[in-house]
Amino acid sequence: MNFPEFSDILEVVTLRNYNTALVVLSTALLGIASGLIGAFLLLRKRSLMGDALSHATLPGIGIAFMIMVSLGYSGKSLPGLLAGASISGIAGVLLMLLIRNTTRLRDDVGMGFVLSVFFGIGVAVLSMAQNIPGANAAGLESFIYGKAASIIMSDFVLIAGVAVFASIASVLFLKEFTLLCFDEAFARSEGWPTLLLDIFILILVTAVTVIGLQSVGLILVIAFLITPPTAARFWTHKLTHMLLFSALFGLVSGWLGASISALIPELPAGAVIVLVAASLFLISMMCAPARGVIPRFLRQSRLRKKVDRQHFLRAAFELVEAQSNEVDGSVVNIPFSWEALLKKRTWSAKKLKSILRVAQREDHLEPAGQGMLRLSEPGFGEAARVTRNHRLWETYLIKHADIAPSHVDRDADMVEHILGAEMVRQLEADLSKREVEVTMPPSPHQIQQSPAPTES
């Protein structure tokens, strides 16, 4: 494999080469359209639909070739072949809708049936086309694997026109498509033509699939439809942002994949485009801030540390509170022992040591001599706040949710770590109306000490 020189890279990046410019721009526009319409396909949970449609186009290509040859025209006319592919793809869509709406079979059954049957018919038709006397069917198999390098100006105009139409339609019908994707039953009850909207989405998918046959091929076009929106899903929780990210990832996949293929001719454009899209997917899956694996792990790690810190502070405050009540009824920040703290929760000794190290680092804990521990001044204030929020929530659950006092500690423990300032103020206001003590409510249940677990 010969690696490109800098002058070759500059020529491809600046689109100086005429043929390279057509290929790169075509695949970039196709990537934008695929990203937009593929997002709705993904949200409709019909990822296999694009694969079924792409395979359903193969019979139309072979039949269109034979018809054009029999009429005396060139069988290699791209508009004619794509027209045949479109008709065949629409027939596959209608068959899938027929199976879905007239039987009890699930969508995936109809998709699998159309995929396998139409592809088998397509292979048989292509074999028949190659045996027609005087007809040159060589090159038809390029629609299976894709051949972006053969794109000419007329092909570019056709691809650009369909891609722009599909993109504009996705934007104009954003509200209707969103309603269909998220609550089809509600849309039907409100009088929306859900079947027509569903057919329109599938027509757009068919159009994008057909124009993608020449660049990535019918086998890989499903990756171009599904991978960009799947990668975009990791970056955001909003649909509009997801559409923007999906279109951007489709654009980058088409532009970068076609450029790499132009620089290294041994690499087919379709395969490289899909590999670029897959790389973007892996990066998104690992690093995307909204749903990525690494950010989610970091958030969960921070939450676990927060929960451990709050459990420690509440356990320490309850120890101090119990010992202070024995003295004069007021809560005074007095020392407590390691053993007493270990019995408060089902901590292992190793776990508790780790929590105490973090507490000392955060200036919540200080040694008190003779093996005793003491909450620092800021730690005592934070412990009082955490305990108060926990008891406010316990009191609220007993008053409003009819939860038994013996079980309320567990239920409150699941929520107290996400109580915000506004929710605490609402709890205070509601409990004050009911004449419940909100300064520091007493625990509504007996605070029991758990037996110390064995050290691990």
Give the mean pLDDT of 337-364. Answer: 85
Residue ranges and CATH numbers for the domains of the chain are 6-291 (1.10.3470.10), 299-433 (1.10.10.10)
Distance between CA atoms of residues 221 and 34, nearest Å: 9
Distance between CA atoms of residues 375 and 180, nearest Å: 56
Distance between CA atoms of residues 130 and 185, nearest Å: 48
CA nearest to 285, candidates 335, 355, 333, 234: 234
Do the Cβ atoms of 255 and 27 come closer than 8 Å? Answer: yes
196: pLDDT confidence band, cut at 50, 70 and 90? confident
Do the Cβ atoms of 24 and 262 come closer than 8 Å? Answer: yes
451: pLDDT confidence band, cut at 50, 70 and 90? very low
Q: Mind listing the pLDDT tens digit for each residue in 362-403? A: 888 888 777 788 888 888 888 888 887 777 777 777 776 666
For residue 369, the cross-strand partners are 372
The whole-number pLDDT of residue 258 equals: 85
Residue-wise burial string across 39-67, b where 16 or more C-beta atoms lie within 10 A, e elsewhere:
bbbbbbebbbbbbbbbbbbbbbbbbbbbe
433 pLDDT exceeds 80?
A: no
Q: Write out the E strands in 30-122.
A: none
Q: Which one has a higher pLDDT value, 96 or 439?
A: 96
Angle between helices 174-182 and 194-211 (to 10 degrees): 110
38 pLDDT exceeds 80?
A: yes
- What's the predicted TM-score (pTM) here? 0.75
213 pLDDT exceeds 80?
A: no
Whose tokens are 């390691």? That residue is 338
430: pLDDT confidence band, cut at 50, 70 and 90? low
Q: Which one has a higher pLDDT value, 273 or 218?
A: 273
Q: What tokens does 2 get?
A: 């010969």
Q: What tokens does 98 get?
A: 């027929």
Beta strand 372-375 pairing with 336-337: antiparallel
